[in-house]
Amino acid sequence: MQKPTIIKVHEPSQSKNFLDECLKTPPLFTCTIASTETALIPGVSAAGASPELIPYTAAADVEAIIHGQALCLGKIPENPLGPPSPVIITMAALKRLNAPFIVVDAGNAITPKVPMLVAGRTPGLSLVEPVAVDNVAELFMQGIIIGQQLALNEHTLILGESVPGGTTTAMAVMEALGMAALGKISGSMPGNNQSLKQELVSRAMVEKNLSQGSCLDHPLEAVRLLGDPMQAVQAGIAMSASHKIKVILGGGTQMIAVAALIGALLNSKWSSPDFAQPALKRLLPAAVNARPENIAIATTAWVSEDKSADLRSLMQQLPVAMPLYAAGLDFSTSRHKNLSLYEEGYVKEGVGAGAMALTAMLYDNLDNSSFLPEIERVYEDIYLSEN
């Protein structure tokens, strides 16, 4: 059965015009990269051909977009079994849309050879460490500024990410913000290795004296203790930009966690000592007065329809109502085995692939059968141009 081009996975009634509104301004794509040492725990991430290569994945992804190939890696990132990084989908969409693209660095271990809008310079630690993201308030502040600046362009803002290990930190943050997320997240391998991730998150929460919802009064604490640097930057960007423009959080599980953070912040009393810091205090109105009705999430159908996850349940639990859309990408007919492996649950999402595919399909009135050959061409260009 053919997937629909765009799946309205979750669409609150007040969001019915969201996608039409997006079309009124051209798209601008950002990809926020960050490292979390959570990704280095064996079994957590398949975002790299081998465990040693995982730290290079985010840098390699954005180098591929800019340079056509990953300078730090020689080729683009791969899943251990061969399927390539979803960056090929993003590249195909960017080529078609001719959209501006900006890399945001929230704190990545490897510095790619591309210009980056630097929001933070410190990679995140593992969620089993006492503090995972020490500079969370600073990151949130930088996000607010970036959102203000980008919103002045009057584009529809699409915020992708490349953060290996990010679905595990997403699960942890959602739990700390009161959502039942265990067993419901997606990830980059078939089955999503739920039990390992679940055990990790549960153990980290117990060790830190946290239970479901513990961080609701001080939502940034969820990121500080259990999250990754991308989450704080992305929430800041989305909140301040939402004043003026439509914002699409590009990702599945990881962006539901960002949406949870946004919602929890909006429901909170903003009473954290972080917010008393003068520079952040001056900027805070841009976040406090965010317009969540201007924010949506977009991912791929591989994530939204993942039987080993439950994105619909996560969306229903969000503290603010937001729509989730999915691009009906289908690689089952691909002439490349490595791409058809996506249909078996490998890779699924990343580098804003779902949101960018959805944007290309939406703006250019494209379906999977016309878009797939363009993605295949990107894949072939990269692998044919190898030395």
Binding site for a second copy (CB under 8 A): 28, 66-68, 71, 98-102, 104-105, 111, 113-119, 121, 138, 141-142, 145-146, 149-150, 152-153, 155, 279, 282-283
**Is the Cβ of residue 52 or residue 386 nearer to a second copy in the bound state?**
386
Distance of CA 243 to the CA centre of its chain: 21
- Report which residue type is found at 257: A
Q: How far is the CB of 291 from a second copy (least distance, A)?
A: 18
Q: How far is the CB of 194 from a second copy (least distance, A)?
A: 36
Could you tell me which of 119, 103, 96, 117 has the C-alpha nearest to residue 27? 96
Q: How far is the CB of 4 from a second copy (least distance, A)?
A: 30
Give the residue carrying structure tokens 């009161």: 178
**Distance between CA atoms of 351 and 377, rounded to whole angstroms?**
18
The two counts, helices (H) then strands (E), for the chain are 16, 8
DSSP 218-235: STHHHHHHH--HHHHHHH
Q: How far is the CB of 266 from a second copy (least distance, A)?
A: 23
**Is the Cβ of residue 90 or residue 214 nearer to a second copy in the bound state?**
90
Tokens of 112: 């790619």
**Is the Cβ of residue 324 or residue 356 nearer to a second copy in the bound state?**
356
**Distance between CA atoms of 309 and 305, rounded to whole angstroms?**
8
> Parallel, antiparallel, or unpaired: how do β-strands 156-162 and 101-107 relate?
unpaired
**Is the Cβ of residue 38 or residue 234 nearer to a second copy in the bound state?**
234
Q: How far is the CB of 95 from a second copy (least distance, A)?
A: 12
Angle between helices 57-67 and 87-97 (to 10 degrees): 30
Q: How far is the CB of 142 from a second copy (least distance, A)?
A: 5
What are the b/e assignments for 162-195, b being 16+ CB within 10 Å?
Answer: bbbbbbbbbbbbbbbbbbebbebbbbbbbebbbe
Q: How far is the CB of 80 from a second copy (least distance, A)?
A: 27
Which residues make Cβ contacts (< 8 Å) with residue 224, sequence separation at least 6? 131, 132, 133, 134, 136
Distance of CA 271 to the CA centre of its chain: 27
Which residues make Cβ contacts (< 8 Å) with residue 87, sequence separation at least 6? 61, 64, 65, 76, 77, 162, 350, 351, 353
**Distance between CA atoms of 250 and 29, rounded to whole angstroms?**
9
What are the b/e assignments for 33-45, b being 16+ CB within 10 Å?
Answer: bbbbbbbbbeebb
